[in-house]
Amino acid sequence: MGLNSKDLLSIHDLSVGEVATILDVARKLKRKQKNGEPHEYCKGKTLAMIFSKASTRTRVSFETGFHQLGGHPIYLSDSASQVGRGEPVRDTARVLSRFVDGIMIRTFSHDEVKELAQYATIPVINGLTDLLHPCQALTDIFTIMEHQKVLKGRKLVYVGDGNNMAHSLMFACAKVGMHMVCASPKGYQPDPEILRLAQEDGAMTGAKITVEENLLEAAKGADVLYTDVWASMGQEEEFAERKKVLGSYQINKELLAVARPEAIVLHCLPAHRGEEITEDVMEGPQSVIFDQAENRLHVQKAIMALLMSEENL
């Protein structure tokens, strides 16, 4: 069992069945890891990890995960490789394809990742771009499944900036039949083209994907409340303006009271407590944020194994 896709660039590119396969393999690999069972599906393989953006969770989860799969990860930063020194992406893609078995890239431009995949003859995994964050969104769906069992018909409400995280969550919810409302102010709402594509995906599974300005209205009956920082990496100079506009888009006790009693709270981290989420909610009984953080390891292992292993998973 593998994926029909060579790469994982966007959840939109995956079929409903492929998303289900990733979630199923992640569950199996998590169980194996917890039981101390070997699962070296990538033994003898090498993964090049290209980082143009700083990272804690992405680097540690991919590096640890590939090591647990029996493979050898190589960290490449802009400062320590030709990638950041003007070598064309298509050249990097073709050279690395001769050396390694897969590439994970975390960078700014989504077009750069698409070009890398176009010229590489090996799998390319999008570890994050300014447009999309597919590995995180698949992790989020996996975490919801662990805590709420059934995904279809659940309602996820995303609070704040309609950024790469919001985009990937729209695609992920659409593929598994979850309804999603992106609660964002004007000027900070998701890309209309991404919204259109997600709604098309949702039409196949019965998922409704919408955008709403009124936060309290959006959060009514939510099974999942999700937020991200007001200013992402590279947007620090805009923070004062963003705080002014996004200041009321916060997960707090008042918002939690509007959601379903058993609702869970997610955040992709790093969190700025007191800004997009309050301390009491982040540390409260409905927060599963650190389960979610751990699950990056298991879901990314599933993705790497499905793309890079010849074994039957």
Please confirm, yes or no, whether 133 is among the known catalytic residues: yes
Please confirm, yes or no, whether 182 is among the known catalytic residues: no
Question: Active site residue: 268, 292, 298, 300, which one?
Answer: 268
CB contact at 8 A, 187 and 161: no
Question: Active site residue: 7, 223, 228, 250, which one?
Answer: 228
Question: Active site residue: 39, 154, 242, 296, which one?
Answer: 296
- H helices present in 151-288, as ranges: 164-176, 192-205, 215-219, 239-246, 253-258, 279-282
DSSP 8-state class, residue 12: G
What tokens does 158 get? 């995303």
Q: Read out DSSP for 67-78?
A: HHTT-EEEEEEG
CA–CA separation, 253 and 281 (whole Å): 7
Interstrand relation of 155-159 and 46-51 (parallel, antiparallel or unpaired): unpaired
CB contact at 8 A, 61 and 297: yes
CA–CA separation, 182 and 190 (whole Å): 8
Closest CA to 65 of 89, 97, 41: 41
Question: Active site residue: 39, 59, 110, 133, which one?
Answer: 133
Question: Active site residue: 12, 106, 110, 267, which one?
Answer: 106
Please confirm, yes or no, whether 136 is among the known catalytic residues: yes
Please confirm, yes or no, whether 27 is among the known catalytic residues: no
Give the three-state DSSP class for 64.
helix
Question: Active site residue: 136, 250, 292, 300, which one?
Answer: 136
CB contact at 8 A, 192 and 186: no
Give the three-state DSSP class for 160.
coil
Q: Read out DSSP for 164-192?
A: HHHHHHHHHHHHHT-EEEEE--TTSSPPH
Closest CA to 211 of 223, 228, 194: 194
List 275's β-bridge partners, or say none.
none
Known catalytic residues are: 106, 133, 136, 228, 268, 296
